[in-house]
Amino acid sequence: MHIDEGARIIVEDWLHIKKGDLVYFIVDETKKREAEAFVRASKKVGANYEVIELCSHEIQAGQAIENLKFKMAQADAVVGATNFSFITTDAVYYALSRGVQFLSMPMSTNDGSSLLEQDFLKMDPDEANRIGMPMFWEMRKANKIHVTTELGTDLYFDITDRFPGIFHGSLWEIGKCSSASFEIYIPPVEYKTSGRLVLDGSMGYIGLVQQPTEIIIENGYISRIEDTKDGIKLLKYIESFHDTEMFCAAEFGIGLNTEAKCQGISYIEDESAFGTFHIGFGRNLALGGCHNATGHFDLVTHNPTITVDDKVIMKNGVAKGIRIDGDRYHHM
């Protein structure tokens, strides 16, 4: 897909930007091509726009975003198009409270391509919503989630008095956020997630898992990571934040994008892929949780069986009411 088509999808189909709207595109120094594409798309619809460029190494910890807290609150819409996600920061939470629409679009890829060139952006937001809503409503009234896989994952999440949301790119209401990651998400109760994860998908920004790796979670925190090559990489990555709160399980998510594949090019595509679930660790403030940390990352695993209270909503990676025909998914 051409980069200009990707920018058009974001501006017109997802954000519904119209003439006279003010939109900020927050990028870093590595995303000049994307910034130019966003400008062209904004000009096409007659919107007012500003590109704000930050230093890439300042994004993840959040201070550079905190400095934009009041500026972001002045816009109609803000697109976070830096390499790293900052949707979970307090500054975004404040902007949303002031009626700003926020789209999280972390642009990091592991092969040097542009996220705006990836075909998974063509996923129909309405279709993702149709796939996700039955699962959303089951989670909306539930107290617990149990996840298993044939490789040995066996995890419990407490979601008592926590509320799910759906990201599917598209934004219609003021004061709402969305993400290029098409997913159902919910922040589990901190300190209560427990069990065994056999990770076989991707490790967020790090890329694909080469060998299934066992991760033990106790009282909400990672207590042990298996000593595989992937496990060593993951532990080193988490420790690079110098923050023990990065070990806290802060998000449970289910991918809703049937055009996406978990192939390690972009963590946004990986965690969006239908037939996967992910656990987000670290900060979750803008997701409805109350856990703060210096960052956020996700671990993606294939083919889960997900039970919400006593009802199975996904069996071996296929949601109830969905039929697989080759590599295509259809409603039954």
Q: What is the pLDDT of residues 280-311, one digit of tens each?
A: 999 887 788 889 998 889 999 999 999 999 99
Minimum mean pLDDT range among 11-15, 71-75, 284-288: 284-288
321 vs 94, which has greater pLDDT?
94
CB neighbours of 283 closer than 8 A, spacing ≥ 6?
A: 62, 88, 89, 250, 291, 292, 293, 294, 295, 296
Judging by DSSP bridges, how do beta strands 177-179 and 101-104 pair with one another?
parallel
Q: Which residue has the tokens 């910034």?
A: 35
From residue 167, give the alpha-carbon distance in Å to each of 104, 105, 257.
10, 12, 10
pTM of the model: 0.88
Q: Where are the alpha helices (DSSP H) in 167-274?
A: 229-239, 267-272
What pLDDT is stored for residue 322 in this prediction?
A: 60
Report the alpha-carbon distance of residue 279 to residue 275 in Å, rounded. Answer: 14
Residue 267 has pLDDT above 80, yes or no: yes
Residue 148 in tokens: 């298993």
Burial class of residue 323 (count of CB atoms within 10 Å of its CB; 0-12, 13-18, 19+)? exposed
Residue 244 has pLDDT above 60, yes or no: yes
What pLDDT is stored for residue 321 in this prediction?
A: 63
| pLDDT per residue as tens digits for the range 143-173 | 999 999 999 999 999 999 999 999 998 887 7
Query: From start to end of the chain, where are the E strands?
Result: 22-28, 48-54, 77-80, 101-104, 144-148, 154-158, 165-167, 177-179, 183-186, 194-199, 213-218, 221-225, 249-255, 276-282, 296-302, 305-308, 311-315, 318-319, 322-325, 328-331
Q: Which residue has the tokens 């697989």?
A: 324
Q: Give mean pLDDT, residues 240-249.
A: 96
β-partners of residue 267 are none
- Planar angle of CA 140, 179, 280, nearest 5 degrees: 65
Minimum mean pLDDT range among 65-79, 190-204, 224-238, 282-296: 282-296
From residue 87, give the alpha-carbon distance in Å to each of 92, 93, 101.
6, 8, 12
Q: Tell me the pLDDT of the chain averaged across its residues.
A: 91
